[in-house]
Amino acid sequence: MTLQLGDTAPDFTQDSTEGPISFHAALGDSWGVLFSHPKDFTPVCTTELGAAAKLKPEFDKRNVKIFGLSVDGLSDHAGWAKDIAETQGVELNFPLIADADRTVADLYGMIHPKADNTLTVRSVFIIGPDKKVKLTLTYPASTGRNFDEILRVIDSLQLTAQHKLATPADWTRGMDCIVVPAVTTEDAKRMFDNVMEIKPYLRYAKAPSGS
């Protein structure tokens, strides 16, 4: 079954490079990102894990815990972690789940048999503090993901969880936001600074400071 936005992220207990993970307990009250890799000792995945490790401080700032996953065992993960440190110039600084029995891959639908029968695709799940799925992404094995984009979506999700705002195309933190249709322009002017009505349905506003 495909996981959809708003579904509860399935809980699981599985080994990882940082010891056994009980997913919901490990998330606690944080946001989470769970992302899968087709296989250990593969080139694109190696660069992705390096990129995610370099951005770990940015995830920490946003109260987001990150978890990688591949359907290989812990001893492979340990050897691969050494290669990641050597080739990417950064230590693996978050858990890499060893999903050799595919418990998690099956729960999250990370194996797409028409793409590959055994390897996981590059799935990304962003999970809110309420344990609900907030975003899903599916990339093919041959395309490395853009982790800045994942951070950008987290910024948008965290902003829109707090304010009656949405974010326009290519938005990044600090840029003007969109007033959601349910809010009148009159109310928006009471709630936000710099409200601009381009069309009755297209209103921009400045995000409250600190968000």
Interacting residue with ligand BEZ among 26, 34, 45, 97 (CB under 6 A): 45
Q: What is the 3-state secondary structure (H, E, C) of the chain?
A: CCCCCCCECCCCEECEECECEEHHHHHCCCEEEEEEECCCCCHHHHHHHHHHHHCHHHHHHCCEEEEEEECCCHHHHHHHHHHHHHHHCCCCCCCEEECCCCHHHHHCCCCCCCCCCCCCCEEEEEECCCCEEEEEEEECCCCCCCHHHHHHHHHHHHHHHHCCEECCCCCCCCCCEEECCCCCHHHHHHHCEEEEEEECCEEEEECCCCC
- Nearer to ligand BEZ by Cβ, of 80 and 192: the residue is 80
Catalytic residue from among 26, 27, 45, 188: 45
- Nearer to ligand BEZ by Cβ, of 119 and 195: the residue is 119
Interacting residue with ligand BEZ among 2, 4, 142, 143 (CB under 6 A): 142
Question: What are residue 80's phi and psi, to 5 degrees?
Answer: -70, -40
Shortest Å distance, C-beta 87 to ligand BEZ: 12
Instruction: Name residue 125's amino acid.
Output: F
Binding span for ligand BEZ by CB under 6 A among 40-48, 51-59, 190-198, 199-207: 40-48
Q: Judged by CB under 6 A, does residue 43 bind ligand BEZ?
A: yes
Q: Judged by CB under 6 A, does residue 138 bind ligand BEZ?
A: no
Q: Judged by CB under 6 A, does residue 85 bind ligand BEZ?
A: no
- Nearer to ligand BEZ by Cβ, of 27 and 121: the residue is 121
Q: Is 45 a known active-site residue?
A: yes
- Nearer to ligand BEZ by Cβ, of 43 and 113: the residue is 43
Q: Judged by CB under 6 A, does residue 39 bind ligand BEZ?
A: yes
CA proximity to 33, closest of 147, 115, 139: 147
Q: Judged by CB under 6 A, does residue 42 bind ligand BEZ?
A: yes
Q: Judged by CB under 6 A, does residue 114 bind ligand BEZ?
A: no
Cα separation values, 207 from 49, 141, 144, 184, Å = 32, 37, 31, 16
Q: Judged by CB under 6 A, does residue 141 bind ligand BEZ?
A: yes
- Nearer to ligand BEZ by Cβ, of 38 and 128: the residue is 38
**Active centre residues (catalytic):** 45
Site residues for ligand BEZ per CB under 6 A: 38-39, 42-45, 141-142
